[in-house]
Structure 1
Amino acid sequence: MNQSSLTTGNITKSLLRFAFPMMVGNLLQQLYNIVDTLIVGQFLGKEALAAVGSSYSLMTFLTSILLGLCMGSGVCFSICFGKREYDRMKSGIFMSFVMIGGAALLLSAAVFAGMDLILKALQVPGDVYGLMRDYLWVIFWGIAATFLYNFFASLLRAVGNSVVPLLFLGIAALSNIGLDLLFIICFHRGVRGAAEATVLSQYGAGVGIMVYTMIQFPQLRLKRENLKWQPEILKEIFQLSFLTCIQQSVMNFGILMIQGLVNSFGAVVMAAFSVAVKIDTFAYMPVQDFGNAFSTFVAQNYGAGKTERIREGIRSAVKTAFFFGASVSALVFVFARQLMLIFVNPRETEIIREGVEYLRIEGSFYYLIGFLFLCYGYYRAVKRPGMSLVLTVISLGTRVALAYILSAVPWIGVTGIWASVPIGWLLADLAGYLYYRRARIE
């Protein structure tokens, strides 16, 4: 195996060098939906903007199932890589590919069959319903592409290569922008064109990274002896993948419940939330990816038995995440209005006002979610994904409960939805820290 090990060298430099391509790559991945939102908002009107923007929460929830399975498998690959158990890792690659691929097919069938029930559950307004359905009907065809990209990206990152996934995402993001402009402005395909551009770009990234990995990384190719079920390995992969999948799904299901509550406030708040949440996600994406890179670092060193290096890595990661989070919070707070104007016509003053309020309330506390992502990554890496799930339940449970309670108070209203977010982050951070102090796992 000729890839990059995170078990030696300067910890901070190694983490940042490994994390940087992941940060850039995930920022590019967000461009899939952000570009749709920007172009739709400028050329197709607020109803189309609400439809495309609101679809983002649903798609994030659905793809989080596959992402969680891939992330859990990636932890297994990283631990095997740290232990230098390469045959065991290859057997795991085969079993996880079949398992997650099957889940992708079932998920695709389920969402097509239940599309109208899903939209009704989300309380989508009548003037948005048809547009959102048209958009989702096309977007759902990209679930298989999402699986392919995330599986092979997780595999490459597990063995220390975070550059190749970035390259394929970069190509996909650029093609998505070009196809958006072509389908929406030139071909007048409306919201369906935005979805078609995204799906074509996703398949380019998914199939491309799969073919590239098989050609350029012969050490990851499977042999006949790897193509069999080994109960012990399968159990380990399933436990990590399933709990990570549940954690990711719970996190995004909570966001989906918030989306349903937001929708009940009408098209203006719905459109404002749709835009602001894109900016929000884009803003804290660096700390999320730093948490994922930290997870790979911990998993490799956990496999190698380097407990002191893990402790040093924790100290370094906490300082770095705080710096990232506080810096981005300051920028978003100051430039909230300018960020909204990127996506929204200046004449839509109500949408802009609501979006700015959201960003200035939630965006002041990105360092809290930075710490939470480190907790998620750490507990996955040391084979305690159940704790990541507990922290997610605390964070999202608090957010959902407070959002529904506070927004029902007439003089608080929708502001209560925004304020519930950092409170949930804070409580989950405290729980993650206290558990770490009580149970040193390394």
Structure 2
Amino acid sequence: MATSLTTGRPWRVILSFSVPLLIGNVVQQLYQFADAIVVGRHLGVDSLAAVGATGSLLFLLLGFAWGLTSGFAIPIAQAFGAGDETAVRRSVATGVLLTGITSVVLTIIAPLISESTLVLLQTPEELLAEATVFTQISFIGAGATMFFNFLSAIIRAIGDSRTPLVFLTVSCALNVGLVVLMVGPLGWGVAGAALATVVAQAVSVLLCLEFVRRRLPMLHLRRDDWRVTRADVAEHLRLGLPMGFQASIIAIGTLAVQVALNTLGTDAIAAYTTAARVDSLAVAFLSSIGLAMSMYAAQNLGGRRPDRIRRGVIEATWIAVGTGVLLGVLLIAFGVPMVRLFIGDGSDDVVELAHFMLIVNGCGYWALGLLFVLRGALQGLGHTLVPTVTGVIELVMRVGAAVVLGAMIGFSGVALSNPLAWLGAIVLLVPAYIRAHHDLGRMAVDPVEATETSAIAIVGPVDGSMVVDAVLTQPTRTIRRSRLRLLNRR
């Protein structure tokens, strides 16, 4: 049910909100594990490599869709924090329309360009047929993936991170069963693995819609809510597009890594695919804290609580960095047994390469945790430029490492691409958030002025800084002086 994130101890609120996200991410990773295990053991290393060769291309387009829908949820969280149900419904209607349009475009265009794009990525010829089939089926089901992401995002935006977890768990369990059935007894190969995911996502969409119908009257759209204005569309695109492009920029870097891998042979592709599956489980812990931070910041921005945002970011940073260090130690220590789940007996070279990548990534998880928290906070505050630029930095660092270091030292150079990208991003994120942190501090009204103030209305981001209007019942001179001081202290 709807829950406010504007009250309670910040670290407890953030942790409580992030735990269901974390469990959901882990559950989602587990069913991806199931895909990889079933494909790897039933169809062989080549089929596993074929599925792995599609990862960067799928992430390029579906990652854009995920970022886009996550951005659409930020105005909803801000409106909910402000207690404006009309604005909540209008934001939902705007997001539904934009998500629908994007889904249609992806479903029509993406399957048509799948094979040619995989060829451009230098996918090995022996993997191309299976990789193409897997990619095309995944894109045909893009609408189900997008709407599940959007519906989950709007439910989380009103403070409920538990219900999407329930639906995701049901969907994942269904997916595992369908993968075993379609790849095993039915013998549909990698096509069955892709179709199982699409069907499971479609079921989760239906579950979300039924929950909204029964339990969330706040989100029941009325005729007037569908009268979306250009301003509504512009505001949602202002927040959604940068988050989508940010994911795409990161995916382009992943594509460069994929090209470098494709030149290193099937063992390198299989090792990277396997290590990425294990790595994604650890990353799920950290990304959940970042997503919780963005919803927390958005609601408290709408609720006019800059003090809580500042405290929340500091406390979430300690949680994320500490968790990153612990995860790195665990993954380095137990990486080999986890890799063996996918590979089975033999293929020692693949296991050795995968474990090396896990060691490299594990040493950088503290930086990834910091990255997720700071980026999530800035996105929740409505900042779009810096998070997007950090995506560009990640692209440059990741491509540079994959191409240059990959050519010099092979797989080891490609493995270094992730931590180098994370470190490059936080070099910009840290000073950017420090500035936002100071701006939030200036939003607090002095005690003397607070006695004269009836409300503080947040106008929104202006050139990356936060602006507030003091809505006073006292003389205009006091209003003007307070506003100018807040604007000029940069």
Q: Per the shorter chain, which TM-score range?
A: over 0.9
Q: 1 CA distance for matches of 2:139 and 2:435? A: 44
Is 69-78 or 2-11 further displaced after alignment? 2-11
Alignment of 1:208-227 (within 5 A): 208-227=207-226
AA in 2 matched with 1:155: I
In the alignment, the residues of structure 2 paired with residue 284 and residue 324 of structure 1 have an alpha-carbon distance, to the nearest angstrom, of 10
- In structure 2, what is the equivalent of residue 19 of structure 1? 18
Q: Does 1:178 align with 2:158?
A: no
Kindly provide the amino acid, as one letter, of the partner of residue 419 in structure 1.
Answer: L
SS at match of 2:54: helix
Instruction: Please tell me whether residue 414 in structure 1 is matched to residue 411 in structure 2.
Output: yes
Describe the superposition over 1:387-416 as per-residue Cα deviations: whole angstroms up to 9, x where unpaired. Answer: 11111111231111122111111xx22211
1:194-253 Cα shifts (integer Å, max 9, x gaps): 122211111111222123222221121011111102233222111001111111111122
Contact 1:88–1:233 (CA<8 Å) still a contact in 2? Answer: no
Q: 1:270 to 1:283 in 2, by over 3 A?
A: same
Given residue 426 of structure 2, which amino acid in structure 1 is its aligned partner?
Answer: D
Whether 1:77 and 2:76 are equivalent positions in the alignment is yes
Q: CA deviation at 1:422?
A: 1.2
Q: Which residue of 2 aligns with 1:434?
A: 431
Q: TM (normalized to structure 1)?
A: 0.96
Structure 1 stretches lacking a partner, 5+ long: none
RCO higher in 1 or 2 (8 Å CA, sep ≥ 6)?
1
Q: TM-score, normalised by structure 2?
A: 0.87
For the 8 Å contact 1:36–1:52, the answer to whether it is kept is no
Q: Which residue of 1 aligns with 2:240?
A: 241
Work out the CA distance in 1 between the residues paired with 2:333 and 2:379. Answer: 35
Identity %: 29
8 Å CA contact retained: 2:167, 2:207 = yes
Give the letter aligned to residue 129 of structure 2.
Answer: G
1:131 alignment counterpart: 130
Structure 1 residue aligned with 2:28: 29
Q: 1:254, 1:108 → 2: CA distance?
A: 24
Q: Which residue matches 1:388? A: 387
- Please state how far the C-alpha of 1:91 moved relative to its aligned partner: 0.9
CA distance in 1, matches of 2:31, 2:385: 31
Contact 1:299 1:382 in 2 (8 A): yes
Distance 2:275 2:103 in 1: 29
Amino acid at match of 2:422: W
Measure the CA separation in 1 of the matches of 2:249 and 2:319: 27
Would you say 1:89 and 2:88 are equivalent positions? yes
- Distance of 2:298 and 2:67 partners within structure 1: 16
Query: Unpaired runs of 5+ in structure 2?
Result: 441-490
Report the more deviating stretch, 251-260 or 8-17: 251-260
Moved more, 177-186 or 230-239: 230-239
What is aligned with 1:200?
A: 199
Match of 1:358 in 2: 357
Quick one: which amino acid aligns to residue 419 of structure 2?
A: P
Contact 2:313/2:374, CA 8 A, preserved across alignment: no
Give the corresponding residue for 1:334: 333
User: Aligned partners of 1:139 and 1:240: how far apart in 2?
Assistant: 26
- Counterpart CA distance in 1 for 2:173 and 2:59 is 21
Say if 1:280 and 1:359, in contact at 8 Å, map to a contact too: yes
Question: How far apart, in 1, do the equivalents of 2:112 and 2:178 lie?
Answer: 28
User: Shift of the alpha carbon at 1:430?
Assistant: 2.1
Pairing of 1:41-120 with structure 2 (within 5 A): 41-120=40-119
The match for 1:424 is 421
Please tell me whether residue 290 in structure 1 is matched to residue 281 in structure 2: no
2:371 is equivalent to residue 372 of structure 1? yes
1:148 matched residue in structure 2: 147
> Comparing 25-34 with 101-110, which one deviates more in the overlay?
25-34
CA distance in 2, matches of 1:341, 1:415: 20
Q: CA–CA distance in 2 between the matches of 1:89 and 1:163?
A: 20
Q: Which has the larger radius of gyration?
A: 2
Measure the CA separation in 1 of the matches of 2:423 and 2:256: 20
Partner of 1:122: 121
Q: Residues of 2 paired with 1:328 and 1:222: CA distance?
A: 43
1:100/1:147 contact within 8 Å kept = yes
- Aligned partners of 2:377, 2:326: CA distance in 1, in Å? 23
Indicate the residue corresponding to 2:454 in structure 1: none
Q: Corresponding residue for 2:462?
A: none
Local SS of the residue matching 2:363:
helix
